[in-house]
Amino acid sequence: MPIKDRRIDRFKVYSRRAAILAGFKGLLVSGLVARMYYLQVIESDRYQMLAEENRISVRLLAPLRGLIVDRFGRVLAANRADYRAYLIPEQTRSVDDTLDALSRIIPLSRDDHQRIRRAVQRQRAFLPVTVAANLSWTDFARINLASPDLPGVQPDVGSTRYYPHGPLVAHLIGYVGAPGEDEVGRDPLLQLPGFKVGRNGIERTFDSQLRGQAGNMKVEVNAVGRVIRELERKNAVQGSTVQLTIDFELQRYAADRLAGESGSVVVVDVKTGEILALVSVPAFDPNDFNLGISRTKWQSLLADKRKPLINKAVAGQYPPGSTFKMAVALAALEAGVIKPDHKVACWGKKELGNHTFHCWKREGHGVLDLVNAIQHSCDIYFYDIADRVGIDRIAEMARRLGLGSAPDLPIPAVASGLVPSPGWKLATQGVRWQRGETWVAGIGQGYITATPLQLAVMTARIANGAHAISPVLTVTPRSGEAIDKAPAPLNISRAALDVVREGMARVTTHPRGTAYAARITDDGYAMAGKTGTAQVRRITKAEREAGVRKNEEKPWEERDHALFVGYGPIEDPRYAVAVVVEHGGSGSRTAAPIARDVLLKAMRANSAAAPVDKLPEQPTLTPERGVDV
């Protein structure tokens, strides 16, 4: 082939290859252009949003917890500044090394190390973990000074729950604590470090109202997550204020009168059922639970024989003793088995079969009618009328007066007490009711038990003319509706009530009344009442023959409970009180003087005055920092 022809063929081959390469390059450029058009035009909004999300951080702001106040607006649970330190796991090379370094600045126990490691393992690495809270200003300043050498540690100022009156309202208010591990995943708010939820009392029942609503803020961050500027903020909404019916000054006074004892005081408004004081002593400091109670202190609370963790006012169940005699008297009068002038001779004891029942007064009271029997608290008289009326009608009257069922209150562990009956005994013990057990029930002993709150309600229903008031602890009911219905009548005759109330008045106003020494002498403030002394163990025949030891000679756990119930003023009752002093001995000597002083305080201070409408405002304590969500 000539050289010229060979050159022409080679040129054609090269031209085809160039065309193929050019075509391939054209397709590639077209694809790139199409992709760029798709990304920059069609998908521009989506990628702009993703870029913004990498640049913008949304952080959750914790709300302040709502206040708890008394009927006059006095603050019982508030918030205060909390100096604390967080650890952000993803910002530290080694959690253990950081904790070791921090331990040289502030004390961190082995339990603290374990708690922090568990929190690091169960939540996302960018979420902060609370290392220490409620720090002193000195420790907080030391952490700030050392922060360059503590990677991942963030000092912060937030808010924490504070109970300014500590034990005085502990059983009512309850306390807050960290949410459990099984709760954290349900609500982003619970993932905030240091966030607390209600764990007992009012704090727990009204937790959703007190918790408030979280806010948020948008901040601009750089590539390493440092905040450049705040772009937008929606402030958190503080929780609602919960107002109680309690008069705190009366609560404080009642607690002071019970100081050194183990027991409770309850004061209620006889017309509305509002609880004005609900005291249980000894108590605990709810601030200890908020700050993190030590194991030593917790064990000491559990081991204390006076049971400071139990709210004795609503959970303590005691034999009502002679304070129950009004219920027995009303049952007998309403059943028609006796009249007010029914007389019984008391010579100190009464026989039933081969068993002897004794009166508290060994030589007896002589011949008494009903009013005098209440005045002198004669046991023989009430053995007699209990036998006549029977346990079923006694139990029915006791329930009408509020015993035997748990009141509906927004606090935990409200006990129902026990009003026994033959059917109850047969069902629970498999044996029949005995006649002697009716006699024992007639003086408030045996199986029957009641709480101090129930005894106060019983007394209020007698004082207000037999209307079925129910105890109320919050100014605004949980339903959000005002209570505008008058309490229902109990259908107890006025004649029967007048006899019983006359006997109660003579207990404190007649020189031979069992509580005459504890009477109120101020004009217009006289009180009526009933003493009670409840045995905690049976006195054997041998002990009685040997001579029963005085209460102060017995071990504390074997001493009688001292009780008193009363109301005042006598002419126009407004307040009812119940006092129980555990192992306090005589109701007339121990419980009656306390009840007198507390009742007089309530009447003078007008504790049942209408609650205030204007409630205090919480100072702003909104944390400046937030937590990424």
Q: What is the distance between the alpha carbons of residues 406 and 451, in angstroms, rounded to a whole number?
A: 9
Q: How far is CA 199 from the centre of its chain?
A: 8
pLDDT < 70 regions, the chain: 1-14, 16-17, 39, 43-57, 181-186, 193, 221-228, 477-485, 538-553, 618-629
Q: Decide if 4 is inside a domain.
A: no
Q: What is the CATH number of the domain that holds 204?
A: 3.90.1310.10
Q: What is the distance between the alpha carbons of residues 322 and 320, in angstroms, rounded to a whole number?
A: 6
**CB count, 10 Å around CB of 252?**
17
User: Do both 192 and 319 map to the same domain?
Assistant: no
Q: Decide if 339 is inside a domain.
A: yes
For 113, 114, 191, 577, the CA distances from 95, given in Å and listed in that order, are 10, 12, 19, 58
Q: What pLDDT, on the 0 to 100 scale, is given for residue 49?
A: 53
Q: What pLDDT, on the 0 to 100 scale, is given for residue 552?
A: 62
Q: How many residues does the chain have?
A: 629
Q: What is the CATH number of the domain that holds 512?
A: 3.40.710.10
Q: Decide if 208 is inside a domain.
A: yes
pLDDT tens-digit readout, 589-623: 999 999 999 999 999 999 999 999 888 876 555 44
- Partners of 132 in beta bridges: 85
413 conformational bin, left if phi > 0, alpha if psi -120 to 50, beta if neither: left
Ramachandran angles phi, psi of 598, nearest 5°: -70, -45
Question: 278: part of which helix (H) or strand (E)?
Answer: strand 275-281
Catalytic residues: 322
User: Do both 461 and 344 map to the same domain?
Assistant: yes
Q: Decide if 17 is inside a domain.
A: no
User: Do both 154 and 279 map to the same domain?
Assistant: no
Give the three-class secondary structure for 262: coil
Q: Decide if 52 is inside a domain.
A: no
Q: Decide if 277 is inside a domain.
A: yes
User: Do both 196 and 334 map to the same domain?
Assistant: no
Q: What pLDDT, on the 0 to 100 scale, is given for residue 398?
A: 97
- Partners of 472 in beta bridges: 274
User: Do both 205 and 314 map to the same domain?
Assistant: no
Q: What pLDDT, on the 0 to 100 scale, is given for residue 498?
A: 96
User: Do both 208 and 344 map to the same domain?
Assistant: no
Report the domain count for the chain. 2
Q: What pLDDT, on the 0 to 100 scale, is given for residue 149?
A: 78
User: Do both 404 and 423 map to the same domain?
Assistant: yes
Whether the predicted model's global pTM rises above the 0.85 cut: no
Q: What is the largest CA-CA distance in the chain?
A: 160
Q: What is the distance between the alpha carbons of residues 332 and 322, in angstroms, rounded to a whole number?
A: 16
User: Do both 73 and 215 map to the same domain?
Assistant: yes
Of 244, 261, 283, the residue that ends a domain is: 244
Q: Decide if 594 is inside a domain.
A: yes
pLDDT tens-digit readout, 356-368: 999 999 899 999 9
User: Do both 346 and 229 map to the same domain?
Assistant: no
Q: What pLDDT, on the 0 to 100 scale, is given for residue 628?
A: 47
Which residues, other chains included, contact 520 with Cβ-Cβ below 8 Å and sequence gap of 6+? 508, 526, 527, 568, 596, 599, 600
User: Do both 282 and 137 map to the same domain?
Assistant: no
User: Do both 313 and 201 map to the same domain?
Assistant: no
Q: Decide if 45 is inside a domain.
A: no
Domain that holds residue 496: 248-293+309-605
User: Do both 178 and 73 map to the same domain?
Assistant: yes
